Amino acid sequence: MIELAPFGRTGHESSRVIFGAAGLGDVTKDEADAVLEVLLAHGVNHLDTASSYGDAEQRMGPWMEQYRDRFFLATKTDARDGSGARASLERSLERLRVDKVDSIQLHDLVEEDEWEQAFSPNGAVAALARAREEGLCDFIGVTGHGLRICSMHLRSLERFDFDSVLFPYNAALLANDAYRADVEQLIGVCLERNVAIQTIKAIARRRYQGEPAPGERRLAWYEPLTDPEAIERAVAFVLQRPELFLISSSDWRELPMLLEAAEKPRRSVSEQEVLADRERFGTEPLFDGAALERI
């Protein structure tokens, strides 16, 4: 079973691997239900979805009707204005078939104009704080992608006491010295304030190359690692830091291997070991400059 750890200040003991539901955006009910069986079998008790993940919330709705008490349920909104954020949260509650979510997160809050709008008096942050007072959510987080996101999270934490953050974390990205410095500064602040720290892209290999082959099904915008040993190294690299949670890849076909890797006895994995997979599997950083940071 997956190890549990306190999810920041929430009082919830969350599985160190959190299920990232983006890959449920375009699946059948049978496929979604098969994913649920994998999660239950491995003791994953924390789900992360978003209003913008296609039909993911609708696919998870039947799960919640049967298993709501087993999961910490988090979703996200892309809205930056208050009325839009409130409408997005209410739509998510309806799709998920719940009266409230455990956490609502501002999705990919990195652009300056959007950041200013979100923190304005009529912005998303104030609206979600009111929704929390009304009992529609218990916690509020902030998420993002790209090389600028950790520095933006630091700014966000200066303006509002968020309960969780989410950002990319793997050896290829940490090879960027500036990004590593921002990551470590953010982790330090989060540990001081007991803010939950979620990471993504642990088993990312590289951006997909070219167009899909006939019959090829792509469940993420990037190509994940598929080699079991490489996945084990990548997962261990994240989980060896006890303060970090790992959100699974959108490509749920790799979920069983990822969970099996996470269940193995913890071992120390050097950055050099993981970076050696660049040569073996052509691993590349997903983010390399401002033009690529919005995905």
Query: Cα(73)–Cα(64) distance, rounded to whole angstroms?
Result: 9
Residue with tokens 């999810």, as numbered in its chain: 7
| 105 beta partners | 76, 141
User: Rounded to the nearest 5°, which phi and psi values hold at 146?
Assistant: 85, 175
Structure tokens at 126: 């104030």
CB-based contacts of 37, cutoff 8 Å, min separation 6: none
Query: Cα(16)–Cα(247) distance, rounded to whole angstroms?
Result: 8
pLDDT (tens place) for every residue of the chain, 295 residues total: 999 999 999 999 999 999 999 999 999 999 999 999 999 999 999 999 999 999 999 999 999 999 999 999 999 999 999 999 999 999 999 999 999 999 999 999 999 999 999 999 999 999 999 999 999 999 999 999 999 999 999 999 999 999 999 999 999 999 999 999 999 999 999 999 999 999 999 999 889 888 888 888 888 888 899 999 999 999 999 999 999 999 999 998 999 999 999 999 877 898 888 888 878 888 888 886 543 444 3
Burial of 5 (0-12, 13-18, 19+ CB in 10 A): middle
Query: Cα(169)–Cα(149) distance, rounded to whole angstroms?
Result: 11
Let me know: does 76 contact 162? Beta carbons within 8 Å: no
| DSSP tally for the chain: helices H, then strands E | 12, 12
Task: With both helix axes pointing from N to C terminus, report the angle between 56-67 and 29-42 in degrees, rounded to the nearest 10.
Answer: 50
Structure tokens at 20: 């990232």
Name all domains of the chain by residue range, CATH numbers in brackets: 4-292 (3.20.20.100)
- Rounded to the nearest 5 percent, the helix, strand and coil shares of the chain are 45, 20, 35
